[in-house]
Structure 1
Amino acid sequence: MRTELEFRNQATAHNDCYLLYREAADFIIVHDPDDLLFIKNMSNFWTTLAQLHLKNPFTAGFQFGRFNSYINISKSFLHTSISKSLESVRIGSSKVFLKSVFFTGGIENVNAHFAAYLQPNFKDTFLSNNSGIFVHIRNISYVDNLFNVEKDLVFEGGDKNITTYIDPNHLKNIKSAVKKRMSKFREMNHLRNLSLVNHYYKLIDDCYESVYYKYENTNGKKLLQFCPTHFHCKFPEIPGVNCVHAKQEFIRNDLKI
């Protein structure tokens, strides 16, 4: 019996979330953790999207251009600087697969990028880069000191930064809000006692790479393969234990590998 869908059961997770919350929201975004949406000249997401919807009342979703990007991130939580990380973002010149902001009144179900079933007379609306973009953080450099990075990289032939696409004043507001939140985090002394060593996710990353990019073509390039979902991933370091069990046992018992 088939109990899973391709691509790590993402379609199931997306639609479970969508069906659960669509009556509570006018707009829903299905995105990866490394997809950051920046809308130009906006005060907040809902106000801006509502204004766009007034101009496009039969839109099923707003499609934004999406670009692979590069960013510097601090290795240590206590030395994190959102300001410096955002300033380090370099946006590639070529677009990758679009992402959408869905209007819940116009669609019945979703997938990772587009509405899967539209109500009659509804259609997708593509927005130009002048309206906003999704920044797809594809390459990350973890650095010791964000205030002393040796060189400024150019990513995939692109050297555009965030202020190319959004109002610099909006960027200042983001930095200010994050700074206030970070100051509250730094007052929580117990955070200083958290382990800086990450065991489990390194194993997951190695497993994912070995399964998802399993075969190479004649040119030596890795070919994209469908992942059989995390229920089937195995850790050679822990014989007979797949990653679901590892997440439960490995973290709880703090096994050393």
Structure 2
Amino acid sequence: MFVKRTFWKLSLPGNGDSNSDYIEPIENGIVIDPTRRLSRKLPVSHVFITSAYYYPTSKSLGQNAIALNMVVDSVNFNVEEATYNVVGSNGTHEKLTVATSKVEGVPSCRYTTAMARTNTVENLMKLEMESNGVKVEVPFKMARYTAPKPVIICISPQFVAEQWQMFLMHVHVANRFVSFKTSHKIFGTSRFGGHLHMYITSMVESYFELMREYEKRGYLTLDYWLRMKFEQAQTPYFEPNGNIEWRNQAGAETDCLLQYKEAAEYIAFFDMDDILFPATYPTYLEEFNAEWALQPNATSLLYGRREHEFIKAQTMSEFSFTELVESLRSSPTVKRGKVVVKPETYNHTWIHYSWHEDISTRHNVSFPHLIHVQRPLQKNGNNNITQLWKMEFGPLNETIRAEDLKEIEEDYWRIRNNSRVFEISKRLPYQDFYLPIVFKCYYDSFYGFIFDRVRRNGPMQCPNADLCELPQRDDYRCIHSDAEYFSGPHMEPFTFHFSSNSFWSKDIGCYQ
């Protein structure tokens, strides 16, 4: 048993004496590691179960399928294709099965995203993880079998989010609203046919309230993306949030895929700043169908991302799609893309695509590109981002149809004129605060080395902004996702942690 202020004895390689012992202090199980020697092996691999889904039927997973979306300490031993014992019961029958797994992530991170799958009893009521006779019950959800739209756009987790202008651009493009009249009624339909599924870790409160108004109107679904917390641990572990790639973005994309696997016709994995305008057809569904017809054996459609910058409005009353598009400037740079998949062809994914996908069946879409608006410019700001990461921009080099722009503008003002939205709009941030801080952190830890070949100190580290210093603000409070956290009993080789009963909170909450 390990309790506060106890010590765990570990061997520190490379100190001249391979048999020498290194005494590390343990704070509630966390390995204090000022040298960041994250290659050290520990006696147990700790696992955070992000989500678990049950499928009575599945086109690709089979009958009574279980999918476990997890974060696993991958250094202690090779967890690629590791197996996990799963016990399912329905009140009358109990079944022990072995779940096989695939990992998605980068080797420089201690923790990696993993999806494990198995098949269990009918009418599942209880799900447990087992090892050497020790079991722990974990919560699970029923997978969705209906979706708001045929195309679900999974948006990667938002943290200290404040860029409401980018959200307005994306949500209205995806939902492009068109009204038409009959003699008795006015009807409305979403022409592009996309529904945003949005993960949130933390967000400026007024921005969150604005999203909630759009959620009430069916434009999007808000979902929790929790910081991982271990309620207790009897063996040492490395802190997971700072040692997983980009706040476990791959886990969020996998969760979204698993949620809508049996419900959507297509699932797109985009960031908030990745915006797709259909080039040839009036809807995403028709556009994706046409691209898939060019390569019928495709497992995904890969859309390249062209860098763009634009000038953003300071207030919602100043916001105009026409002016925003007029300010868009394109770069010749087209970066690594994002995929759109038929869910039966994918069971798990990374940030850009699955590492396990056969690249010969990945269909590269030549046109259009995703409009990547990573660099929004303030009208009245210093825009230091442009000095930190220099790019060349010229005239807009993507197609945005005039009739689409007109209908998007009308849809925006239809929402904007709502009294509740108008009240919220007065409290939205009008200048950047967190964006420059996070962008510089990203640049120093990853972008500078990858794109500008800026020399880094030390070896490649896990790309992650969790160690960035993010000061709190009294003028703009944040909303955070939170939950009740649980830890299972000591188990080997895996000890499991999980959460339940998620909720929105104004308190960051403490974590180990």
Higher mean C-alpha deviation, range 135-144 or range 71-80: 135-144
Unaligned runs of 5+ in 1: 145-154, 251-257
With over 3 angstroms needed to count, the CA separation of the structure-2 counterparts of 1:220 and 1:65, relative to structure 1, is closer
Q: Is the 8 A contact 2:311 2:378 kept in 1?
A: yes
Matched with 1:175 is: 409
Match of 1:209 among 425, 434, 440: 440
Structure 1 residue 61: deviation in Å? 1.1
* Aligned-partner SS, 1:111: coil
Match of 1:159 among 382, 391, 394: 394
- Output the CA distance in 2 between the equivalents of 1:190 and 1:205: 27
- Output the CA distance in 1 between the equivalents of 2:435 and 2:365: 36
- Output the CA distance in 2 between the equivalents of 1:49 and 1:122: 18
Matched with 1:142 is: 378
What TM-score results when the alignment is normalised by the length of structure 2?
Answer: 0.38
Match of 1:194 among 427, 440, 454: 427
Structure 1 residue 195: deviation in Å? 5.4
* Aligned-partner SS, 2:323: helix
Greater RCO (CA < 8 Å, at least 6 residues apart): 1
With over 3 angstroms needed to count, the CA separation of the structure-2 counterparts of 1:237 and 1:175, relative to structure 1, is closer
The amino acid of 1:140's aligned partner reads P
| 2:366 is aligned with 1:128 | yes
What TM-score results when the alignment is normalised by the length of structure 1?
Answer: 0.70
The amino acid of 2:396's aligned partner reads N
The amino acid of 1:133's aligned partner reads H
Q: Is the 8 A contact 1:73 1:142 kept in 2?
A: yes
The amino acid of 1:167's aligned partner reads R
Structure 1 residue 192: deviation in Å? 4.9
- Output the CA distance in 2 between the equivalents of 1:75 and 1:233: 26
* Aligned-partner SS, 1:133: strand
* Aligned-partner SS, 1:59: coil
| 2:311 is aligned with 1:72 | yes
Residues 30-52 of structure 1, C-alpha deviation per residue, up to 9 Å, x if partnerless? 11111111221221111221233
- Output the CA distance in 1 between the equivalents of 2:392 and 2:438: 31
The amino acid of 1:206's aligned partner reads I
Residues 89-139 of structure 1, C-alpha deviation per residue, up to 9 Å, x if partnerless? 1110121111221121222221221234348x981111112xx11011122
Q: Is the 8 A contact 2:445 2:464 kept in 1?
A: no
- Output the CA distance in 2 between the equivalents of 1:175 and 1:10: 31
- Output the CA distance in 1 between the equivalents of 2:455 and 2:314: 28
With over 3 angstroms needed to count, the CA separation of the structure-2 counterparts of 1:74 and 1:62, relative to structure 1, is same
Q: Which has the higher strand share?
A: 2
Q: Is the 8 A contact 2:314 2:430 kept in 1?
A: no
Higher mean C-alpha deviation, range 165-174 or range 79-88: 165-174
With over 3 angstroms needed to count, the CA separation of the structure-2 counterparts of 1:28 and 1:15, relative to structure 1, is same
The amino acid of 2:278's aligned partner reads I
* Aligned-partner SS, 1:140: strand
Matched with 1:12 is: 251
Match of 1:114 among 353, 356, 374: 353
Q: Is the 8 A contact 1:35 1:136 kept in 2?
A: yes
* Aligned-partner SS, 1:213: helix
Q: Is the 8 A contact 1:211 1:225 kept in 2?
A: no
Unaligned runs of 5+ in 2: 1-45, 47-72, 74-110, 112-239, 381-389, 474-479, 483-504
* Aligned-partner SS, 1:170: helix
Structure 1 residue 20: deviation in Å? 1.1
- Output the CA distance in 2 between the equivalents of 1:222 and 1:175: 45
With over 3 angstroms needed to count, the CA separation of the structure-2 counterparts of 1:93 and 1:115, relative to structure 1, is same
With over 3 angstroms needed to count, the CA separation of the structure-2 counterparts of 1:204 and 1:189, relative to structure 1, is closer
Matched with 2:507 is: 249
The amino acid of 1:87's aligned partner reads E
Structure 1 residue 53: deviation in Å? 2.5
Structure 1 residue 55: deviation in Å? 3.8
- Output the CA distance in 1 between the equivalents of 2:364 and 2:256: 24
Structure 1 residue 15: deviation in Å? 0.7
Q: Which has the higher helix share?
A: 1
- Output the CA distance in 1 between the equivalents of 2:507 and 2:407: 41
Q: Is the 8 A contact 2:438 2:465 kept in 1?
A: no
> What is the RMSD computed on CA atoms of the aligned residues?
3.8
With over 3 angstroms needed to count, the CA separation of the structure-2 counterparts of 1:183 and 1:205, relative to structure 1, is same
| 2:286 is aligned with 1:47 | yes
With over 3 angstroms needed to count, the CA separation of the structure-2 counterparts of 1:244 and 1:76, relative to structure 1, is same
Number of aligned pairs? 226
| 2:306 is aligned with 1:57 | no
Q: Is the 8 A contact 1:9 1:229 kept in 2?
A: no
- Output the CA distance in 2 between the equivalents of 1:195 and 1:159: 30
